Amino acid sequence: MPDYDIIVVGGGPAGAMAAHAAASKGARVMILEKDRDIGYPVRCGEAVSDAGLKQFVEPNPAWVAATINKVRMRSPSNIAVDFASPGSGYVLHRRIFDYALANMAAQAGAEIQTRAYVDELIIEHDQVVGVSYQYMGERKKLTAKIVIAADGVESRIGRMAGLRTSIKLKDMESAYQATVGNIDIDQEMIDFYIGDNWAPGGYLWVFPKGDRMANIGLGVIGTKSKDYNSHDLIQNFLKEHYPSATMLTGVAGGVPIAKTLKKIISNGIMLTGDAARMVNPVSGGGIISGMHGGKLAGEVAAAAIETGDISEKGLSDYPKLWHKAGGKNHERLHRISETIYSINDEALDRIAKKLARKSEKELSLLKIFLAVAQEKPMILLDVTRAFAGF
């Protein structure tokens, strides 16, 4: 008998949701987290939509740093387009949020081991049967019926299982994120700076974190990252726009904006979250999509253990459900993202000038998209398809 039914590699939102879903159905689950802490370091903008979050958990003041009521988008020459968006989302304290999700998994019966660095998959007769890992200088092994890899952007487990290849530069945002204190911003507004002037091939964000704090970061598209250093771009931005702000945290990170991997399962193994490339390619948001993917993976894994078929075929509901729940849209979002991030600074300014004449109340995301479509008509087709789901 294997040590566990399911081993989850990685204790972020995707891993915790997978563990929670599987343990809730009675599976014996172990989460192996490589870092000392669940939820740290935070490599994230920390914003989620209200609708997305509520699919999985109710917002909790313990980890909601700010509620979003307003959105501002700025063009390359800093023309601001504002629109009201009451209660549309939250900026989280990921450090606490990730803890809460892991605790939820633990309360459903999952065990958690931190500082467990998985560096080998145990494969027998083409079936994944466990992992080998390092813990406090010792080599350990655990066997399991299914391994769920939620090991983040690096996706090393997926590589070991032969499921993933390297990400292309055009599908990777080279990012830097800072949590800053002593900053005067509208604590109900998320603020986006779009265009090469701010963040070549990506965007810069200023998100409120409550108590005169903010999460500020940016991503530069990999194909342009040769000439830019995200850390320096953030430093310069802060100096120029928020000279009083001081950095409380600064971390580098990569955001995969690729399409979801063609294959996210094999015999005894499932990939989820960033590791499966589930990040929304337009927004770069990966919390909700990771939670979604993790939950589906955990549920399908628990069901497969019950039926006893842990082969690729036995796990095949997982990619089907992901596809049905939005995976197909994910590919369209990827095309939309390529269009949006290819709009040049002059065109972005033209769009912003048109929109800035309208009042906050007149504007909506739809109107913004329509203005974008005047510059890039192809986007209309992709967006329509994405929302219509065909």
- Which residues here bind other proteins, judged by CB under 8 A? 34-36, 43, 115, 117, 134, 152-156, 159, 165-169, 172, 174-176, 220, 222, 225-226, 229-231, 251-254, 256
Q: Rounded to the nearest whole angstrom, what is the least distance from the CB of residue 156 to other proteins in the complex?
A: 7
- Indicate the residue among 89 and 152 with the shorter CB distance to other proteins: 152
Q: How far is the CB of 174 from other proteins (least distance, A)?
A: 5
Q: What is the DSSP letter of 185?
A: -
Residue whose CB is less far from other proteins, 60 or 236: 236
Dist CA 58 CA 55 (whole Å): 8
Closest distance between other proteins and the C-beta of residue 312, in Å? Answer: 23
Cβ closer to other proteins: 56 or 176?
A: 176
CA distance 368 to 240: 28
Minimum distance of other proteins from residue 148's CB (angstroms): 19
Least gap, CB of 172 to other proteins (angstroms)? 6
Cα-to-chain-centroid distance, residue 195: 21
Task: Evaluate whether 10 touches 152 at the Cβ level (below 8 Å).
Answer: yes
User: Using CA atoms, how far apart are residues 4 and 348, in angstroms rounded to an integer?
Assistant: 53
* Nearest to other proteins of 156, 335 (CB atom): 156
Of 208 and 253, nearer to other proteins (C-beta) is 253
User: Which residue, 377, 367, 369, 372, is CA-closest to 349?
Assistant: 372
Cβ-contact 7, 148 below 8 angstroms: yes
The string of DSSP codes covering 45-101 is --EEEHHHHHTT----TTTEEEEEEEEEEE-TT--EEEEEEEEEEEEE-HHHHHHHH
Q: How far is the CB of 35 from other proteins (least distance, A)?
A: 6
Q: What are phi and psi of 177, to 5 degrees?
A: -135, 135
Nearer to other proteins, 77 or 165 (CB): 165
